[in-house]
A and B are shown apart, each in its own frame.
Chain A
């Protein structure tokens, strides 16, 4: 999976891209994916993730684009007008990222955050290769990982 965030002050645009190599969607499912009453979950009939993201984009003069290919994967591309008064704050990306990683250590996650020329990136696939047999969510490793993420993002001014 890739998560790419770009904050471009000059172009006044914030972009969030989420790219996976999962099972992908056909054209019909892509149309339905933005319907709050469509979900592949079996536990209830309502799926709000993509619909609410689409609404957040719309409210800040941006848009949500879905690209997908069955068998190959999906790209969700959310754009926002950065300075729009209704553009919601990004929030605590550090802890969000950390939670994603330790919650699903089996996923190879590439994270890139660009802000006006500077950037921070992290590749858990690479980290896991370096660690060898040691699991990513071993307490000492996880702790060091979290510290690294938070300081990296802090340096970026995020």
Chain B
């Protein structure tokens, strides 16, 4: 499944790196602790979080994450948006809570198995 398909099905709003929406999503991870994401996320994951600080872009870049879903309608800081564009990391805004986002992605066939 591509990020674009996830965007369409979950009615998310892509905020950055639109050219990267064709990327394949190989798995999923949900966590708000950056140290935990550093340890456990995999390249190609779609990462679901409520964190909006620009550190999420650094972590996503380091771990080669396919895209970040920001939940609960939490808009990223200006700095985060700029960095995400620069680093070509798609930020996807969802109004849903994390549990709903993960549930729907899971139903679409995205696995969180490590």
Contact = CB atoms under 8 A, between A and B. Distances in A.
Contact of A51 (B35, B38, B58, B61): B58
B17 interface: no
Interface residues of B, number: 13
A45 B62 CA distance: 9
Contacts of B59: 48
Contacts of A55: 34, 53, 55
B55 A48 contact: yes
Nearest to A36: B58
B5 to A, nearest CB: 29
A52 B34 contact: yes
B61 A46 contact: yes
Interface residues of A, number: 9
B26 interface: no
B74 interface: no
A51 B62 contact: no
Contact of A37 (B35, B38, B53, B83): B83
A37 B58 contact: yes
Given A44-B62, A46-B62, A36 B35 contact: no
Contacts of A36: 54-55, 57-58
Contacts of B61: 45-46
Interface of B: 34-35, 38, 53-55, 57-59, 61-62, 83, 87
Interface of A: 36-37, 44-46, 48, 51-52, 55
22 contacts: A36-B54, A36-B58, A37-B58, A37-B83, A37-B87, A44-B62, A45-B61, A46-B58, A46-B61, A46-B62, A48-B34, A48-B38, A48-B55, A48-B58, A48-B62, A51-B55, A52-B34, A52-B35, A52-B55, A55-B34, A55-B53, A55-B55
